[in-house]
């Protein structure tokens, strides 16, 4: 007898979990498939979702088969969650496994009671939740289904049903799911629109996952010696980050650049802290794959992006799609791709004439036309030129200064070194976003990190100071909150010095 497909649904009150369960049962029965569903009530006041367990036979004529009433640990094929923390609960309870389970979940958050009761910020770390989701499930379909429901005018359960249909895990055609929505007679038009949105997004996610897997395989091919070097040199707790960094940088630039990444991490590994190594490996990979016009052109012309856009606008395969990219490069962006000497002369001229930060060139490029696509592909093909650009040289110098601070801080306090590593979060993007983030980081480095390394501030106090300054800078990119925080840190340091 063939094994049934097992599904576990976790839905919050008001998300329509019961209706979703009924839709699946109705669609399965319309195809002559044996199906059984069990509702397991949750706890009120957002301390646990109501769960629904279904078993669906893969072949017709087996409606009299004996099916289980409750899910078994490690034996769930598809887990569906209407909220991200509920996906985490399923993982914690052992129902989601990397050998078997496809996890379909919304990435939006609804705070649990424990999170709301906390005196400070008691919210769970979304980053940790997402890492657990990706590490503990075989396949993932993740997107903000709450937002998708709002945009489509439907309810989240219809989006989730569409994502299930798009996953291909059930031998049920799309028409059967649509018929079950019509048969229920509840907000038919909006639910059908939400179903189509979820189905299209799921199929786009799966196609992108296949392409990403192939890209990762291609990136791994040719850098196996680097991956083997990493496995020999670094502790197991940091290997996932280090290996991902190697693949990312080999794809971003080349094998030599990925080798430089490992060389830099060797100096951090010598400090003897696996936690510090892991955090530095993560941020170093991101910093070394900085956004420049070459990277932007690569992203704008990628096949994955076109698939995602078609899914977001719900364009059918036979419908034409036009995409117009809006660019507004300034003198600094132009200088970024020039050789350093020429770039410095251009920036110096712009400063003297008052044009720096004031002159921009508005461009509209239609990447769905041959000429527009070719222009951006030409920029994307300049990867070989990147190491010769002004931005590359400047960025490498900034990275070395950041790493030097980490290495100097580690003997004083590992917590301080880890906070300095985490401060790389401020430096991201390009254009004005990058400029503001770098300025904020320099202020923290000059007013907190440098005095600490010079012995003018206690390392334990400095670790808290760097963390507070970073949070302030992230909360207010314009720098007002950071200014107040730095002033308070300076005042506190002065009082401590006077007391001593």
Find all residues with CB under 8 Å of 476, minimum gap 6, and list them.
482
Tell me what pLDDT residue 160 has.
Answer: 92
Residue 436 has pLDDT above 60, yes or no: yes
The total number of structural domains that make up the chain: 3
Answer whether residue 220 is part of any domain: no
Residue 46 has pLDDT above 50, yes or no: no
The last residue of one of the domains, among 388, 422, 452, is 388
- Tens of pLDDT, residue by residue over 74-83, are 889 999 988 8
The reply to whether 143 and 170 lie within a common domain is yes
**% of the chain with per-residue pLDDT over 70:** 89
- Tens of pLDDT, residue by residue over 154-183, are 788 999 999 999 888 888 999 999 999 999
Neighbours of 448 (CB within 10 A): 28
Answer whether residue 248 is part of any domain: no
The reply to whether 86 and 152 lie within a common domain is yes
Average pLDDT rounded to a whole number, residues 390-402: 95
Burial 140-169 (b: 16+ CB within 10 A, else e): bbbbbbbebbeebebbbbbbbbbbbbbbeb
Tell me what pLDDT residue 60 has.
Answer: 66
The boundaries of the domain holding residue 351 are 315-388
Answer whether residue 463 is part of any domain: yes
Task: Copy the structure tokens of residue 459.
Answer: 């390392």
Average pLDDT rounded to a whole number, residues 92-113: 86
pTM flag (> 0.75): no
Answer whether residue 339 is part of any domain: yes
Tell me what pLDDT residue 194 has.
Answer: 87
The reply to whether 132 and 14 lie within a common domain is yes
The last residue of one of the domains, among 388, 409, 434, is 388
Phi-psi region of 315 (alpha: psi -120 to 50; beta: other; left: phi over 0): beta
The last residue of one of the domains, among 356, 388, 420, is 388
Answer whether residue 443 is part of any domain: yes
| Angle subtended by helix axes 174-184 and 17-30, to nearest 10 | 120
Answer whether residue 238 is part of any domain: no
- Residue with tokens 């509920």, as numbered in its chain: 86
Long-range contacts of 470-476 (CB under 8 A, 24+ apart): 470/419, 470/422, 470/423, 470/425, 470/426, 470/444, 473/426, 473/437, 473/440, 473/441, 473/444, 474/425, 474/426
At 493, is the pLDDT very low, low, confident or very high (cuts 50, 70, 90)?
low
Tell me what pLDDT residue 72 has.
Answer: 87
The reply to whether 111 and 174 lie within a common domain is yes
Average pLDDT rounded to a whole number, residues 2-21: 85
Neighbours of 389 (CB within 10 A): 21
Spacing of C-alpha 164 from chain mean position: 22
Residue 252 has pLDDT above 70, yes or no: yes
Rounded distance between C-alpha atoms, residue 238 and residue 281, angstroms: 8
Tell me what pLDDT residue 45 has.
Answer: 43
Answer whether residue 83 is part of any domain: yes
Spacing of C-alpha 207 from chain mean position: 17
The reply to whether 399 and 349 lie within a common domain is no
- Tens of pLDDT, residue by residue over 111-161, are 777 777 665 566 777 777 888 888 888 888 888 888 888 877 778 899 999
Residue 498 has pLDDT above 70, yes or no: no
Rounded distance between C-alpha atoms, residue 129 and residue 84, angstroms: 8
The reply to whether 194 and 340 lie within a common domain is no
CATH number for the domain that contains residue 204 = 3.40.920.10
Answer whether residue 328 is part of any domain: yes
Q: Nearest Cα to 6, choosing from 64, 62, 80?
A: 80
- Tens of pLDDT, residue by residue over 212-248, are 555 555 555 578 899 999 999 999 888 888 998 999 9
């Amino acid at each position: 007898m063939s094994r049934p497909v097992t599904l576990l649904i976790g839905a919050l009150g008001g998300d329509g979990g019961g209706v979703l369960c009924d839709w699946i049962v109705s669609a399965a029965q319309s195809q002559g498939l044996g199906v059984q569903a069990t509702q397991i009530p949750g706890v009120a006041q957002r301390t646990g979702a109501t769960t629904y367990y279904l078993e669906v036979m893969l072949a017709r004529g087996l409606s009299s088969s004996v099916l289980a009433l409750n899910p078994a640990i490690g034996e769930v094929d598809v887990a569906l969650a209407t909220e991200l923390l509920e996906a985490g609960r399923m993982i914690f309870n052992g129902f989601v496994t990397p050998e078997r389970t496809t996890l379909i979940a919304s990435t939006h958050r609804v705070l649990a009671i424990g999170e709301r009761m906390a005196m400070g910020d008691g919210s769970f770390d979304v980053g940790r939740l997402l890492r657990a989701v990706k590490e503990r499930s075989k396949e993932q379909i993740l997107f903000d289904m709450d937002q998708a429901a709002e945009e489509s005018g439907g309810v989240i359960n219809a989006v989730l049903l569409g994502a299930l249909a798009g996953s291909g895990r059930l031998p049920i055609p799309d028409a059967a799911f649509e018929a079950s929505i019509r048969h229920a007679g509840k907000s038919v038009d909006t639910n059908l629109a939400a179903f189509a949105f979820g189905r299209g997004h799921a199929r786009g996610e799966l196609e992108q996952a296949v392409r990403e897997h192939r890209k990762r395989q291609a990136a791994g091919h040719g850098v196996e010696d680097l991956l083997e070097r990493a496995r020999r040199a670094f502790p197991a707790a940091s290997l996932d980050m280090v290996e991902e960094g190697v693949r990312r940088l080999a794809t971003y630039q080349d094998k030599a650049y990925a080798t430089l990444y490992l060389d830099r991490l060797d100096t951090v590994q010598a400090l003897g802290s696996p936690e510090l190594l892991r955090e530095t490996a993560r941020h170093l990979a991101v910093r070394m794959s900085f956004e420049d016009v070459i990277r932007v052109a690569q992203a704008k012309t990628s096949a994955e992006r076109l698939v995602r856009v078609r899914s977001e606008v719900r364009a059918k395969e036979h419908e034409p799609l036009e995409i117009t990219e809006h660019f507004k490069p300034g003198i600094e962006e132009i200088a970024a791709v020039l050789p350093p000497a020429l770039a410095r002369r251009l920036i110096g001229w712009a400063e003297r004439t008052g044009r720096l930060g004031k002159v921009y060139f508005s461009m509209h490029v239609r990447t769905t036309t041959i000429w527009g696509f070719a222009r951006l592909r030409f920029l994307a093909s300049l990867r070989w030129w990147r190491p010769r650009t002004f931005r590359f040289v400047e960025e490498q110098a900034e990275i070395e200064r950041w790493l030097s601070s980490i290495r100097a801080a580690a003997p004083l306090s590992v917590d301080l070194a880890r906070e300095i590593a985490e401060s790389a979060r401020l430096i991201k993007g390009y254009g004005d976003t990058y400029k503001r983030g770098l300025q904020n980081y320099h202020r923290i480095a000059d007013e907190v990190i440098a005095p600490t390394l010079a012995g003018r501030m206690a390392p334990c106090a400095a670790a808290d100071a760097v963390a507070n300054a970073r949070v302030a800078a992230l909360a207010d990119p314009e720098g007002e909150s950071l200014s107040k925080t730095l002033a308070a840190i300076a005042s506190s340091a002065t009082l401590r010095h006077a007391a001593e």
